[in-house]
C-alpha cells in the first residue's frame, strides 16, 4: 500500500501532528455523501478547543461521529485526556466523573440527567484559522475502560505515540481492504469503545480513511449509510450487527470489505456474509488493554495471524502479548495455542474453563452449542457465583427463542451436552442485555437472571 502512518518514537518534548494530511483530502462524510476536508476539520477543532474549560479530563458523549472526532482532537490539543467509559449509562458516567474529579463532559445531544460541567458541542461548528494541530508524542490522550464482561471495569492509559503506532498496525491489518487513495468507512460501533476509537477515529486521523458521521444500528440504517459512500465502503461492525444485517435480506451496494470484532465471529456467519455481499469478512483480535494485534479471514481460517512485530507468549494464567505499540507486555486471560509459524488459535479464557464433577468444558463452547439449536436467535451460558447444596457452581443460561419453550431448549441441549453442564436455570428472555458493542457485562446477566427468577417465584 502507498498509505503511510507515522509511528516514530520521539521524546516527550517533541510535538507531533494530530492529523495526517491536509487540504481537500476528506476526513469524514455525512448523509448524502457530502465530504468534510481536513482543512475544514482543523478549523473546527481550533474553534472548539478555544471554548473548552481548563481541566485534565474530558468525557466525550457525542453521538455524531464527526463531532466526536472534533471534540476528541480539541481536548487533545488542549492537553486534556479523553475518558472512554465502558458504557454511556448515566450511572456509569457518574461513577467515572466521580473517580476523575478534574473533568467535564462533552455532548452534542441533551443528556438526562445532565452531568455537572457539561459542554454542548453545537450542530453548526465554528471555524478558526491557526497553526497546524499538534500534540505531545507521549501525552496521555485517552483512558479506556474494559467492558466489565468478566468483572469490574479496569482503566488503561493510551499515549498519542502508542495510538500512532497501533494505527500503523491497523493499516497493516486492513491490507487489501483499503484503497490506494481514500477508503470510506461506515461503523456501527460507538467511538467511545476502543475498537470504535481505533477503526473510526484514529484511522481517519492518521490513515487513508474518511468516516461516515453517523453510527447506524438497524439494518435499514446501515444500508442507507453504505449508499452514502461515493466509493465501495468498508463496514466496521460486530457479529451481532452483522447477523441482523444478513437476516434482514436487504440489498447492499458493493463493499470494499467487512471488519468485525468485540465477540467471536461464527465461521458460518462469516461465510454467509461473504457469499451474500461478495467481499471478504475480516476479523480482528484485540482488547482495550492491547488494541488490535491479530487478524484472520474467519470463513477460511481458524488460526489468527499476528500483526507485524507482535509476539505471543502463553503462560498458565493466559497469554502475554508483546507488540510495538505496547510499552510492556500485556497479559490477557485468553488461552492461546501458538503454532510454529507464529499464528495462534484461541482455546478459551482462563475464567471460562469449567471443571464440574471431574469433567471439563468451556463456557464459550457451551454457548456455541446453545446458539446452534434451531430456533435459538441469541443466548449465553455463564457460571453462577453461588454454590448449590453439594458445593457445585452450576451453569445458567439466558436464551432468546420466540418459537421454543424452555423445555424444548433443554431437550435439544441434552442431545449435545454432558448432564453436568446442562444449564440450571435456563430462562427464556425477549433480548439479552448487550451493550453498544454487543458484549454482555456480567452484572447485567446476573440482574436479568435474578429478575426472571423473581417473576418465576411470584
Radius of gyration of the CA atoms of the chain, in A: 22
Question: Cα separations (Å) of 405 from 350, 412, 429, 458?
Answer: 32, 11, 11, 19
Q: Is the pLDDT of residue 110 over 60?
A: yes
Rounded to an integer, the average pLDDT of 359-371 is 83
Per-residue pLDDT tens over the stretch 228-284 = 999 999 999 999 899 999 999 999 999 999 999 988 898 999 999 999 999 999 999
Rounded to an integer, the average pLDDT of 198-211 is 96
CA proximity to 257, closest of 202, 180, 175 = 175
State residue 135 phi and psi, 5-degree precision.
Answer: -150, 150
The grid coordinates of residue 238 equal: 460486530
CA distance 458 to 443: 23
Enumerate residues 6+ apart whose C-beta is below 8 A from 323.
166, 169, 290, 293, 307, 309, 310, 311
CA distance 77 to 64: 20
Structural domains of the chain, ranges and CATH numbers in brackets: 15-301 (3.40.50.12780), 357-457 (3.30.300.30)
DSSP helix/strand/coil, 294: strand
Q: Is the pLDDT of residue 454 over 80?
A: no
Per-residue pLDDT tens over the stretch 140-150 = 999 998 865 55
Per-residue pLDDT tens over the stretch 176-193 = 999 989 999 999 999 999
pTM across the whole model = 0.82
Rounded to an integer, the average pLDDT of 100-106 is 93
Percentage of the chain lying above the pLDDT 70 cut = 92
Amino acid at each position: 500500500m502507498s498509505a503511510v502512518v507515522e509511528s516514530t518514537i520521539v521524546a516527550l518534548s517533541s510535538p507531533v501532528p494530530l492529523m495526517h494530511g491536509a487540504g481537500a483530502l476528506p476526513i469524514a462524510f455525512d448523509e448524502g455523501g457530502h465530504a468534510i476536508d481536513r482543512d475544514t476539520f482543523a478549523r473546527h477543532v481550533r474553534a472548539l478547543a478555544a471554548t473548552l474549560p481548563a481541566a485534565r479530563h474530558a468525557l466525550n458523549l457525542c453521538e455524531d461521529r464527526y463531532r466526536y472526532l472534533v471534540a476528541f482532537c480539541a481536548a487533545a490539543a488542549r492537553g486534556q485526556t479523553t475518558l472512554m467509559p465502558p458504557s454511556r449509562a448515566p450511572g456509569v458516567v457518574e461513577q467515572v466523573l466521580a473517580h476523575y474529579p478534574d473533568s467535564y463532559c462533552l455532548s452534542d445531544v441533551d443528556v438526562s440527567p445532565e452531568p455537572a460541567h457539561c459542554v454542548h458541542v453545537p450542530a453548526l461548528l465554528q471555524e478558526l484559522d491557526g497553526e497546524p494541530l499538534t500534540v505531545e508524542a507521549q501525552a496521555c490522550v485517552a483512558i479506556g475502560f474494559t467492558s466489565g464482561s468478566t468483572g469490574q471495569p479496569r482503566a488503561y492509559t493510551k499515549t498519542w505515540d502508542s495510538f500512532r503506532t497501533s494505527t500503523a498496525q491497523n493499516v497493516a491489518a486492513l491490507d487489501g481492504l483499503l484503497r490506494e487513495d481514500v477508503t470510506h468507512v461506515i461503523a456501527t460501533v460507538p467511538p467511545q469503545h476502543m475498537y470504535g476509537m481505533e477503526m473510526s477515529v484514529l484511522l481517519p486521523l492518521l490513515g487513508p480513511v474518511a468516516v461516515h458521521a453517523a453510527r447506524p444500528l438497524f439494518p435499514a440504517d446501515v444500508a442507507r449509510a453504505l449508499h452514502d459512500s461515493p466509493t465501495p465502503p468498508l463496514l466496521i461492525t460486530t457479529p451481532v450487527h452483522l447477523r441482523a444485517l444478513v437476516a434482514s435480506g436487504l440489498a447492499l451496494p458493493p463493499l470494499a470489505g467487512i471488519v468485525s470484532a468485540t465477540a467471536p465471529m461464527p465461521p458460518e456467519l462469516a461465510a454467509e456474509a461473504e457469499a451474500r455481499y461478495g467481499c471478504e469478512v475480516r476479523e480482528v483480535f484485540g482488547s482495550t488493554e492491547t488494541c488490535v494485534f491479530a487478524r484472520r479471514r474467519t470463513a477460511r481460517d481458524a488460526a489468527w495471524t499476528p500483526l507485524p512485530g507482535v509476539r505471543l507468549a502463553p503462560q498458565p494464567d493466559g497469554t502475554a502479548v508483546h507488540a510495538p505499540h505496547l510499552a510492556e507486555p500485556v497479559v490477557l486471560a485468553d488461552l492461546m495455542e501458538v503454532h510454529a509459524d507464529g499464528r495462534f488459535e484461541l482455546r478459551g479464557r482462563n475464567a471460562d474453563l469449567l471443571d464440574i464433577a471431574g469433567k471439563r468444558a468451556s463456557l464459550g463452547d457451551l454457548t456455541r452449542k446453545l446458539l446452534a439449536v434451531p430456533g435459538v436467535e441469541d443466548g449465553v451460558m455463564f457460571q453462577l457465583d453461588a454454590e448449590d447444596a453439594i458445593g457445585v457452581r452450576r451453569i445458567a443460561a439466558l436464551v432468546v427463542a420466540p418459537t421454543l419453550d424452555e423445555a424444548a431448549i433443554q431437550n435439544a441441549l441434552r442431545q449435545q451436552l454432558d448432564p453436568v453442564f446442562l444449564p440450571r436455570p435456563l430462562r427464556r428472555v425477549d433480548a439479552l442485555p448487550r451493550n453498544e458493542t454487543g458484549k454482555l457485562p456480567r452484572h447485567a446477566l446476573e440482574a436479568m437472571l435474578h429478575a426472571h427468577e423473581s417473576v418465576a417465584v411470584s
